[in-house]
Structure 1
Amino acid sequence: MAESNHHFQELDDPFSSNHSRLPDDTVFYSIYPYFSLCSSSSAITDHLQSLHLQILSTISPLTSDYIWQHEPFSLSPSTSDNLPHFHGKVKFGDNLDDEWFVVFLLFHISRKFTSVSVRVWDTDGEFLLIEAAYYLPRWLNPENSSNRVFIRNSEVHIIPRKQFSSTPPLKDALKFLIEHPEITRASDAVQSAIKGRISDYPDKARRNVHRVRVRVPVSIAQVLRHEPCLISLAVEGFYDRDIDTMKYAANMKKFLPNGREEELVLVSVKMSRAMYAQLLQQKFQAPKCYPMPPLPPRTDQTTYMEAELGMKIACGFEMMYQQRKKEGEEGKGSTWEAFKESFEKIGYFEGLLRGSQEYKRLMEKVEEYYKERALHYRASEMLSAPVRRIDEILALPHSSDDFKGLEVPSSDDDSWLYCGEEELKSVLEDRQREMELYEQQQKRKQKGKAKVDDDLSNMNTNDFDLKDIAKSMDTFVQKVSSYQGAEVPEDRDLQDVDFDVGRFMKELQSATRPSGGADGVSDVDAEEGSLSDMDFDDSEDESDVEAPNEKEFMNAYTETLNEELRGTTLKKSFVRATDHSPKKDEHMSNDAEEDMDDDFTPVDVDFNLVQSLLDSFSSQQGLPGPASNLLGLMGKQLPQDDPGKSGKGN
């Protein structure tokens, strides 16, 4: 896809990372300006135009001399999904350097324009996370990473799980990213892993361009002189050839009209290293009509290799040209009429009369935008409509004399083609070190966890007196608390409460009648300032005549409460002290026996307390919970359950 075919077009499927049929070997990206989240719709288009040209001007010095494998970096405005942004894609094919050069450009854009947020993904999904796989949070995986990974201000950001448990809506994720960059910023290890991958750019991009001398027909030399970027289509046509397209190469009607009478000329061609390798490694028999020089030693070895490489390029041009012409899918390019129509479709001139002053003003802005952006997309135009452009070039006067006497620089050193083993070994060693470091960290974590488990399992449960729990709980409950709350072990880190006792007493006396203090307060309670000495005994002010009525009421209340409980199963939930139960009559029915047990067998309060605490502690499965917290306040710690043993301790 060339950028020129998509001006402000609504695109949803191809650029969605959730799309199930993404093209192979293609990197996708979207850039979201801050104003798209807050500006009014009337101002969006103007803002997009201005920012679009600024971004293109920023990256143009980095991309002007770069030869892309299949298609150049492109950026198209879009107003789809009520979220105006820019999007683009680059098919990198076998040249993985193209993909990482795109990542570098996106980081560069985010550094120059700090108000934008960037997303990038490919057929594999969030490939940035793959690069930093050993340093990611454990919760992050391919299933929940959608709309979570962004580039902003030249740093990687990850929307945390606690903010959005499921896939966050894109607009909400962008707002959170802008408002809380300190929370979303990925760890330093993640930053280093990803930035290390692009640290050699843009120098690596320049090294990726390989210059080579070739001998080609005059028509091919003429095309490459005017449009060097078309070499990518020629190599693609040669490398992806099939039986049908090879028929075109057998005749060479377009680029070799005179057959073997054509003269080969020496030119220098720029291509990516991947293209050079693709041409060099392919064995291809020259068509009978092609004017190949004699084999060495009749011909110099270098001359023959230059001609052989040029032959492959020429055949690639022929196959690409004829195939595209047959399919009739030639791109129209961004003609002025098509460009203007795209603005009319999005309502840019809505409500304005043709010929009005405001209409003319907006039209002038569109014309200026069209001219300026066209300067940045010449390569895209050529790759979008190669047949038309080739016809235009070959229609110009040209001959072999145009290329004679020219100084042609020598080919670049291609030793890198044979030394890739060292580079591959270096990359594998880096990955190996990352993996070993990750495994060491995991082993340390597991070793630490195992040590804690061993310490807990080695605790002698026989030395742990469960009766002490009941005793501690009884002391804890019976203890009269002060205004500072329930007592806890003295080594706990607690802060004193700022409490004005005198003022509290005055407020209390003003709201209640005076009353004597209660006797029977322990010395410890008195020392800790217990409020039990302020308890009021209402019975002192009541007559003795009312006492029997209170006693009768309590008896009636107790009898009614017991009657209510007899119809429930609550009594069966407690363990009773059976060792103190009276002997049962052998002739007594089971129901009668059970009723007698309920009436006369006392509840073992301590046993029920301990059993309930143990059940609660066991249900926590080693995690924090109410039982462990309560026991911790009393200074007690239970050992973890041993899965190898059955039953509870008692």
Structure 2
Amino acid sequence: MNFSRTIRHLQAPALNNNKIRITMEIPSQDDSKELSEDFGAFPRRLPEDVVEYIVFIIDSNLSDTQVRERLQAFQRALNTLENKFLKEYIWQREVIKLGLIREHGRWLLKGSTNYGDSVADEWLIVYFLRELSKEFKDAWIRIYDTDGEFLLIEAANALPNWLNPEVADNRVWINTHRLLIIPLPKQEHPQPLSQLEALTIIRETPARPQRYPKIEKEAFHRLNGYPTAISENQHHATLPLPRKVAYILHHNPSYISPIVETFYLRDPLSLRLLQPEKSKAQALFPPEDFVDVSVRFTKVLYAQLLGQNWSPPTTLGEALEKLLKNKVQSEKAEISIKIIAGIEMLARHSVFSDKKAAREINLLLEDLESGDDILPSDAEIAAWPQREDDESWLNIDYEEFERELAGKGSGTGFGDKNAQDNLKKMVERFNAFIEDDKAGIDGAGGLDPMDVDDDSDAENRTWEDPEDSDEEKGKFKEESDGENSEDDRRADEEFSEYEKAHEKFMMLPAAEKALLLDEARELAITEEAEQEEDEEIQKLSEMMEAELFGHGALDLDPKAAKSAKANPGVSTKDKGKAKAVEEPEDSDDDDDILDDDYNLAQNMLKAFKGQAGMAGPAGNLMGMMGLQFPPDADDEHKQIGKGKGKAPTQ
């Protein structure tokens, strides 16, 4: 059976199945100033799948210039190791890199590597740095990843109770090929250690960091197969590829990594580039003129391509059918088409324009187009070395796998050797935990002092805490359980959606992330402006409503108001009875509606009349509705009457 996806899970040491996660808390704003003043205060959280490493030279007899020279020598030694072991190595995403920088008055080497899905890259970095620590005995090395002190996570089964996530930061160092841990001071309340404090301890009391053989053995057990494991992480396959693609990969075999990742993380916009009828552009790598060439992958890259279910569009689909008709093995034909799709998207999509591989591939295409270079002939391609590796590591005997899980493996193996070793180690740790006689209801070894909340002054306080009252707790629980359960359910659903969206966002390329962030900022600014505009309209509406009420324009029942003034002693109930007596039984609701409309119109006219020809809310409101009030007839009659009174009598 195909084991393309499961194999990575058994190879990866960063999974929850075979290690306990140690996470780091983000410092509060109050602590930011203190952290910024600490030496080497690095971010408390790293991006997903990133390992960071730092190298210090600590020797009180060396001057600042000599420290820098030692660090430069460390860089040269690392390059020597790379040239020796990594001539054909393919990194999943980024290579190991150490930059010489100066921070807080001290020279140091610092680097980070995004290893993606290939945890083997992370352990290769650990191997290199540990090997260099034998040559540079004054070098003190820290290495950690997204999960924190992952070397301690590997050795979780051998850790003492005091070495928990709250105090582990900056205590784990590699020096002279050993794993050294700075122990806790003798005090009641253990405190976390800053990097500045750790460096001070190493410089002033170098004997204080201790070696714990059991922890060291567990932490470095994955390095037992090195350096042989470096070459075992690679996989070679002979595939039919277009001559132009074969030329690109022969020029630099490491291009296969960004090609596979581009296909693996494809999106609808990228897929449009594979359809000439939609992209309106000719393909850079048309699926034609196929030649057989050997392609070098990492095992993770090969499994990623093999495990993808994908139906190629238009011309790529037709090319796949032709390969199958030519008796090409179905898996190899599909992988070839996926590589063509990946390199096409990588070279053409604007999101990848800042990638080094994309720029170099386009330069090679320009050389071919200008005639500065030519495609290789069949004879040249035949002279290229070809290699076909066994794919048995992709297959699994699930019966043997189940026996291994039960701790009853026969030793015959069920797939990849590294996966077998990792599974056996995981089963051993689990069985050791289960068989721990000291484990009780509180877990193995009982509760750790750091797990006890001793911040409260419950014993000495003179006030009574409502939370300690059983009666209050029961009452509060009855009142809030129903509401809280519903709120918790909604919160869990929202958080689950957020996690999915965040995971999808983190998988996007850096350029696409930047575009999405810019769009989010613009949307936030637009929404804020709309909110301010709505608030202004609401204020104007309230002011207009208050002014209309003042003029009586919104009083829809003036008769009731007059009646209330004329009969102040009559209650609301009596008014209702009197109205029932006065009104005939066949009174219709339409009369009330007509009366209301008439009253509204009459009040609006009175309000307009009260403006005395000046601007006012009634005139403005009716003007906005497109209505123009006629002159007041009562005023005209009054003026005529006054004129008649003034006429001389005959």
**TM range, smaller chain:** 0.5 to 0.7
Matches within 5 A, 1:56-455: 56-162=79-185, 165-177=190-202, 180=205, 182-251=207-276, 256-257=283-284, 259=286, 262-290=288-316, 292=319, 294=321, 298-302=325-329, 304-323=330-349, 325-326=350-351, 328-330=353-355, 383=357, 386=360, 389-391=363-365, 394=368, 396-399=372-375, 401=377, 403-406=380-383, 409-419=386-396, 421=401, 422=414, 424=419, 427-438=422-433, 440-441=435-436, 443=438
Using a 3 Å threshold, how does the CA distance of structure 1 residues 163 and 34 change in structure 2: closer, same or farther? farther
CA distance in 1, matches of 2:334, 2:184: 57
1:27 corresponding residue in structure 2 = 51
Tell me how far 1:141 sits from its aligned partner. 1.4
Q: Residue 373 of structure 2 aligns to which amino acid in structure 1?
A: P
Give the whole-Å Cα distance in 2 for the aligned partners of 1:122 and 1:307: 37
Partners of 1:103 and 1:157 in 2: CA distance: 14
State the SS of the aligned residue for 1:108: helix
C-alpha distance in 2, partners of 1:315/1:284? 11
What is the identity percentage for the equivalent residue pairs of Structure 1 and Structure 2?
27
List gaps (5 residues or longer) in structure 2: 1-35, 402-413, 446-458, 460-650
2:597 alignment partner in structure 1? none
Q: Are the counterparts in 2 of residues 155 and 185 from structure 1 also a CA contact under 8 Å?
A: no
- SS of the aligned residue for 2:167 comes to coil
C-alpha displacement of 1:221: 1.2
Letter of the 1:417 counterpart? L
Q: Cα–Cα, structure 1 residues 218 and 193, in superposed 2: closer, same or farther, change >3 Å?
A: same
Equivalent position amino acid for 2:104 in 1: D
The SS at the match of 2:143 is strand
Q: Is the 8 A contact 1:223 1:393 kept in 2?
A: no
In structure 2, distance between residues paired with 1:418 and 1:431: 20
TM-aligned CA deviation for residue 49 of structure 1: 3.0
Tell me the SS of whatever aligns to 2:51: strand
**Other-structure match for 1:532:** none
2:183, 2:210 within 8 Å by CA — same for their partners in 1? no
Q: How far off is 1:63 after superposition?
A: 2.2
Query: Aligned with 2:104: secondary structure?
Result: helix
Query: Aligned partner of 1:104: which letter?
Result: Y
Amino acid at match of 1:398: I
Structure having the higher Rg: 1
Kept in 1: contact 2:237–2:389 (CA 8 A): yes
User: Retained in 2: the 8 A contact 1:149–1:159?
Assistant: yes
| Rounded Cα–Cα distance in structure 2 between residues aligned with 1:16 and 1:71 | 23
Partner of 1:456: none
Deviation track 1:374-418 (CA, whole Å, cap 9, x = no partner) reads xxxxxxxx5595456545664542235255533652421111011
Cα deviation code 1:99-151 (max 9, x no counterpart):
11111112111122221111111111001111101111211111211111111
How many Å separate the matches in 2 of 1:208 and 1:314?
Answer: 24
> Partner amino acid for 1:405?
A
Look up the equivalent residue of 2:248 and give its one-letter code.
V
Number of residue pairs aligned between Structure 1 and Structure 2:
383
Q: What is the one-letter code of the residue matched to 2:432?
A: L
Instruction: Name the aligned partner's letter for residue 109 of structure 1.
Output: L
Q: Which amino acid aligns with 1:221?
A: A
SS at match of 2:224: coil
- From the superposition, tell whether residues 127 and 271 of structure 1 become closer, same or farther in structure 2 (CA, over 3 Å): same
Gaps of 5+ in 1: 1-11, 331-381, 451-618, 620-650
Paired residue secondary structure (1:443):
coil
**Residues 158 and 186 of structure 1 are in contact (CA less than 8 Å); yes or no, is this contact kept in structure 2?**
yes
Following TM superposition, by how much is the alpha carbon of 1:74 offset from its aligned partner in structure 2, in angstroms? 1.3
Question: SS of 2:393's equivalent?
Answer: helix
